[in-house]
A and B are shown apart, each in its own frame.
Chain A
Amino acid sequence: MAKTKARVKAPKSAKKGEAFQIKTLISHKMETGQRKDKKGNKIPRDIINKFVCTYNGKEVFSADWHPAVSANPYLAFYVKAEESGSLEMTWTDDAGKAVKKTAKVTVS
């Protein structure tokens, strides 16, 4: 994924048992494979097809994306605060390349 930028917004601290929101945004063309170029040839599909969030190594959220997801996908979801640690987001595209971003949270 050339020049793909990702950002994560998560609270720095949360109370145990509380559900907190994580917001993510990644810049990506999400080419569906249906568009045609000026010559009439189909532009090949190139999308992010998987998003995974792990919490201290344990997968807590995942999403399978398909060509209907628009470019520069924004995704927000909730995670239940269990223990302090790191949340790792991974976006994987059709070619298998992955972009990772980490956020740390302190749980009291």
Chain B
Amino acid sequence: MKKAYLGAMAFGVAALIAASFASTTHADHNSPLLGKMEVDDRRSGYTYMEPETKAIQDDDFENPAMIFVEDGEQLWGSVDGNANKSCQSCHNDAFDSMKGVAAGYPKYDPKLKKLKSLEQQINICRTERMQAKPWKWESNELLAMTIFVRHQSRGMPVNVSIDDEAAPFFAKGKEFYYERRGQLDMACKHCHEDNAGHMARANRLTQGQINGFPTYRLKWQKVGSVHRRFRGCNKNIRAQPLKYGADEYVNLELYVAWRGRGLPVETPSVRN
């Protein structure tokens, strides 16, 4: 009698242990539009959103950021600058030429000898190839073009290089992530690593992934870039926000992108 009871208990415990090691993917985290929104223990911000917010992202008609994709497409074909070129002149149809491109940004630029973000590459093309004025960071034009280009990688996994020349910048970005700053003396990790899933006042903290950027934030009632978010995060902990396009932010962007490696590019995502 005792032997059988022990045997049953052992089976029960084994089953519990097996269950806890079972796959951590949750079906309700999937997007009907893009499929799996998590890889191992890396979760897209999508998985933390309310169902209503997710629904807006999953519907290309309802997603207000899709208007920026249309704007970007229009800009893509528009001639601008003294060289009388449009993006299309060199890159032809973005649907083909830009596929997978954004998923590798930020990347090392051998001419600049440092990392560059997608926004910066767009302006490099404008100033050097098109002889046009660079677009101001966070302007509607730069946002639209960044969203349009990154949208061509939608569904593809984030795949940034952190090796070779990018390695030292990746290390700097990682250092920034774990460095305390501001009046509240906090590092990125305190919210996004130690407390992901918990509440900060009325907001649920996510892992701070950037695979969906530029994103339509319901709080902003507008689309915004990664650097806008970085500045906001810094302001939240009462640290001095850096300038848009600052080297530190581009390095940080590489590190944070790497933290979301394998997650699908969702641009343009919808977040709270």
Contact = CB atoms under 8 A, between A and B. Distances in A.
Nearest to B65: A72
Interface in A35-81: 70-72, 74
B70 A5 contact: yes
A100 interface: no
Contact of B61 (A7, A27, A29): A7
B203 interface: no
B62 A27 contact: no
Contacts of B64: 25, 27, 71-72, 74
A27 B64 CA distance: 7
Contacts of A70: 218, 221
B61 A9 contact: yes
B227 to A, nearest CB: 19
A16 interface: no
A54 B221 CA distance: 29
A23 interface: yes
Contacts of B239: none
Given A5-B67, A27-B67, A71 B61 contact: no
Interface string A1-41: 00101010100000000000001010101100000000000
A7 B222 CA distance: 17
Interface string B58-73: 0001101001001100
Nearest to B59: A23
A68 to B, nearest CB: 13
Contacts of A72: 64, 67, 221
Contacts of A9: 61
A71 B222 CA distance: 8
Contacts of B70: 5
Contacts of B222: 71
Contacts of A23: 61-62
Interface string B37-81: 000000000000000000010000110100100110000000000
Contacts of A29: 221
Contacts of A27: 64, 67
**Most chain-B Cβ atoms within 10 A of its Cβ — which of A23, A70, A74?**
A74
Contact of A71 (B56, B71, B221): B221
A3 B70 CA distance: 12
A95 B170 CA distance: 51
B122 to A, nearest CB: 20
A25 B216 CA distance: 15
Nearest to B140: A3
Contact of B62 (A3, A25, A30): A25
Nearest to A74: B62
A73 B221 CA distance: 10
Contacts of B218: 70
A-B interface, 6 closest residue pairs, ranked by CB to CB distance from nearest: A71-B221, A72-B64, A27-B67, A9-B61, A5-B67, A74-B62
Given A27-B64, A72-B64, A74-B64, 10 more contacts: A5-B70, A5-B71, A25-B61, A25-B62, A25-B64, A27-B67, A30-B221, A71-B64, A72-B221, A74-B62
7 contacts: A5-B70, A25-B62, A71-B64, A71-B221, A72-B64, A72-B221, A74-B56
